[in-house]
């Protein structure tokens, strides 16, 4: 782990580690090992870049950290709670209550409206849609998604779609945000907005981890982990 700034150690000591991987091993099939004894910590108030050549398992690592995959061995700890042997229902509960996800292609449901896509995460938290709608509209305005909320994703630009995905990720004010190449398909202006929003969210006290191939984006982070 290559530190980008001395603030990382200070933040960890003051606010604690929100997400930790300990000696994680993962393989898709025997002989196809992607991670072998991998460990790292992600502290509150920091943004960490996950970098390295294509095919090194960066996206796989993100899915492991987000409890969407289980390691062959080792442990993923979320706010001090061990999860690697937890039941699927427990892992789903932790994902819904703790994580926000931003994917490279936005991963919006083309059959649903912009607003529906943003508020869908409330279904997993058993929150009333009406209670989330106001927050969703405020986020869409904050991030400059200047389209009617009833429009479908196929009727918005790529930059707008990724901003919508960012709104969805932040709607429930998660403690941990994981982003997989969130600027990979964006123009420079949209990319700057998305990274700026993630940087600000980390500064507010969350732990943000993002996969990127961009040295410039990695340089904005508090730490870089190269796979």
Is the pTM higher than 0.75? The answer reads yes
Closest CA to 50 of 94, 85, 4: 4
The stretch 1-29 carries a mean pLDDT of 63
Q: Between vectors from CA 222 to CA 74 and to CA 203, what angle results, nearest 5°?
A: 105
Tokens representing 189 are: 């202006």
Closest CA to 52 of 34, 65, 68, 64: 34
Instruction: Report whether 47 contacts 205 (CB < 8 A).
Output: no
Tokens representing 133 are: 């709608």
At 209 the pLDDT is 97
At 29 the pLDDT is 79
Write the pLDDT tens digit of every residue in 142-163. Answer: 888 888 889 998 888 888 888 8
Asked whether the predicted pLDDT for residue 3 surpasses 50, the reply is no
Tell me how far apart the terminal alpha carbons of the chain are, to the nearest angstrom.
9
Asked whether the predicted pLDDT for residue 50 surpasses 90, the reply is yes
Backbone angles phi, psi at 68, to 5 degrees: -90, -15
Q: What percent of the chain has pLDDT over 70?
A: 92
Give the DSSP per-residue string, the chain.
Answer: -EES-THHHHHHHHH-EEEEEEEEEEESSTT-EEEEEEEEEEETTEEEEEE-STTSSHHHHHHHHTTSS--SEEEEEETTEE-TT--HHHHHHHHHHHEEEE-TT----TTS-HHHHHHTTHHHHT--HHHHHHHHHHHHHHTT--S-TTS-GGGS-HHHHHHHHHHHHHTT--SEEEEESTTTT--HHHHHHHHHHHHHHHHTT-EEEEE---HHHHHTSSEEEE-
Range of weakest confidence among 35-49, 62-76, 107-121 = 107-121
Q: Could you tell me the domains of the chain? A: 2-226 (3.40.50.300)
The stretch 42-60 carries a mean pLDDT of 91
């Amino acid at each position: 782990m290559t530190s980008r700034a001395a603030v990382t150690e200070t933040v960890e000591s003051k606010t604690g580690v929100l997400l930790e991987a300990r000696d994680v091993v993962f393989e898709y099939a025997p002989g196809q090992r992607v991670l072998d004894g991998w460990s790292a910590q992600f502290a509150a108030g920091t943004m960490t870049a996950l970098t390295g050549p294509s095919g090194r398992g960066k996206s796989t690592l993100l899915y492991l950290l987000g409890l969407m995959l289980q390691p062959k061995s080792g442990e993923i700890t979320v706010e001090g709670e061990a999860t690697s042997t937890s039941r699927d229902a427990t892992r789903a509960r932790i994902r819904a209550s703790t994580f926000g996800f931003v994917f490279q292609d936005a991963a919006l449901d083309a059959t649903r409206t912009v607003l529906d896509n943003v508020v869908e995460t409330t279904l997993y938290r058993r929150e009333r849609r009406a209670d989330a709608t106001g927050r969703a509209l405020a986020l869409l305005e904050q991030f400059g998604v200047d389209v009617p909320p009833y429009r479908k994703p196929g009727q918005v630009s790529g930059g707008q779609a990724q901003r919508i995905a960012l709104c969805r990720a932040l709607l429930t004010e998660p403690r941990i945000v994981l982003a997989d190449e969130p600027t990979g398909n964006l123009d420079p202006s949209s990319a700057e907005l998305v990274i700026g929003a993630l940087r600000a969210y980390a500064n507010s006290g969350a732990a943000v981890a993002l996969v990127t191939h961009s040295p410039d984006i990695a340089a904005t982070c508090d730490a870089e982990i190269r796979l």
